[in-house]
């Protein structure tokens, strides 16, 4: 029988207050609260679009010469976006999903079952992974390292549960410079959208005040759940200090992030469904084109620290 704690999707005001000084509690409350709507909010799917997105991230930093791996583990799985899509792409046949948020583990297990994947799940802190030494051939994570207070400790745990020669891949981590421009562009877009939609002719484009207030409260917890922004060289140094071999960091999304953050913020500021499918396709295709330019052209001239997303890989030294 599972001994995992139950999700807490409706935190009390006292819990939220306590979470302001406790990043792990903030992560549990914030992500338990988000678990039910997370896939919609971030346009996460388990079809070709996200399968190729996940596989491309892995290949970009680590290649796929060793596919398929035996047993795979994901840390901070959320609803399962990264590992479930990687498994569908052929990364591994057997997987384990873990997250600090019980609501997220439940959502990931529901998605895995619906997709017919062989996946078990545990509520787990990445700093104390509840699996035996040498259990996994590959460990992955997406947008999780920046939430973990002790990143080096978590990577030491990753190396402990990997078999000798096993690989880890973490993607979707914000860089210092990327976070600087993304946050400013997002804040400007929010201000512009919520101001303009106060004008009487545009009020049909205004999201209900209660939902805007909720977004602002969420933003307050977001400031606590986000613990780090990384320089790619620092990320490599942390992984090496943890004991990893063959360490390599890569970055991606420069102009794509400058488009992506205002677009996502604008979508969050207007009523859900208001923009429709044509807008969604336009935004996605534009992001894809800019990502191509970033990776194939700008990466030759723009320093890697200026890109928004960092990825890091490494292996457990073979004995
Ligand atoms: C931004 S979400 C990303 C979720 C998913 N990987 C994705 O890309 O959609 C970060 C996830 O990390 C989890 N998390 C935060 N701190 C953690 C920790 N110390 N150990 C394990 N998971 C953690 C959160 O609960 C949340 O589900």
Atom of ligand 1 nearest to the CA of 126: 20
Cα 205 to ligand 1 centroid, rounded to whole Å: 32
Q: What's the pTM?
A: 0.95
**104 in ligand 1 pocket by Cβ < 6 Å?**
yes
In CATH terms, 13-175+227-254+309-315 corresponds, of 3.40.190.10, 3.40.50.150, 3.40.50.2000, 3.10.310.70, to: 3.40.50.150
Please determine, for residue 212, whether its predicted confidence score (pLDDT) is greater than 80: no
pLDDT at 159: 98
Q: Which of 26, 72, 111, 147 has most ligand 1 atoms within 8 Å of its beta carbon, as the pocket-test mutant?
A: 147
pLDDT at 16: 82
**144 in ligand 1 pocket by Cβ < 6 Å?**
yes
Give the integer Cα–Cα distance in Å for 108 and 187: 31
pLDDT tens readout for residues 173-203:
999 999 999 999 999 999 999 999 999 999 9
pLDDT tens readout for residues 214-272:
776 676 788 899 999 999 999 999 999 999 999 999 999 999 999 999 999 999 889 98
Q: Which of 34, 43, 100 has most ligand 1 atoms within 8 Å of its beta carbon, as the pocket-test mutant?
A: 100
């Amino acid at each position: 029988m599972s001994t995992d704690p139950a999700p807490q999707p409706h935190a009390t005001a006292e819990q939220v207050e306590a979470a302001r000084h406790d990043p792990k509690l903030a992560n549990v409350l914030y992500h338990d609260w988000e678990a039910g709507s997370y896939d919609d909010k971030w346009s996460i799917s388990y079809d070709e679009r996200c399968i190729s997105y996940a596989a491309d991230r892995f290949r970009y930093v680590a290649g796929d010469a060793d596919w398929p791996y035996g047993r795979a583990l994901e840390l901070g799985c959320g609803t399962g976006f990264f590992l479930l899509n990687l498994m569908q792409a052929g990364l591994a046949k057997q997987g384990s999903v873990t997250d600090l948020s019980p609501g997220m583990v439940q959502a990931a297990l529901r998605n895995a079952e619906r997709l017919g994947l062989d996946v078990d799940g545990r509520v787990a802190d990445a700093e104390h992974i509840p699996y035996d030494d040498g259990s996994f051939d590959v460990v992955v994570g997406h947008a999780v390292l920046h939430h973990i207070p002790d990143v080096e400790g978590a990577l030491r745990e990753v190396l402990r549960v990997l078999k000798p020669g096993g690989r880890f891949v973490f993607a979707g981590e914000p860089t210092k410079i990327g976070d600087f421009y993304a946050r400013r562009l997002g804040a400007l877009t929010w201000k512009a959208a919520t101001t303009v939609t106060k004008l009487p002719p545009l009020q049909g484009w205004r999201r209900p005040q209660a939902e805007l207030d909720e977004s602002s409260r969420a933003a307050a917890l977001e400031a606590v759940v986000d613990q780090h922004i990384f320089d790619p060289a620092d990320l490599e140094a942390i992984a090496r200090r943890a004991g990893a071999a063959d360490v390599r960091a890569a970055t991606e999304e420069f102009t794509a992030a400058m488009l992506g953050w205002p677009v996502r913020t604008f979508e969050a500021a207007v009523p859900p469904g208001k923009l429709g499918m044509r807008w969604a396709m336009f935004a996605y295709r534009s992001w894809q084109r800019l990502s191509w330019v970033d990776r194939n052209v700008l990466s030759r001239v723009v320093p890697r620290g200026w890109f928004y997303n960092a990825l890091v890989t490494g292996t457990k030294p073979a004995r």
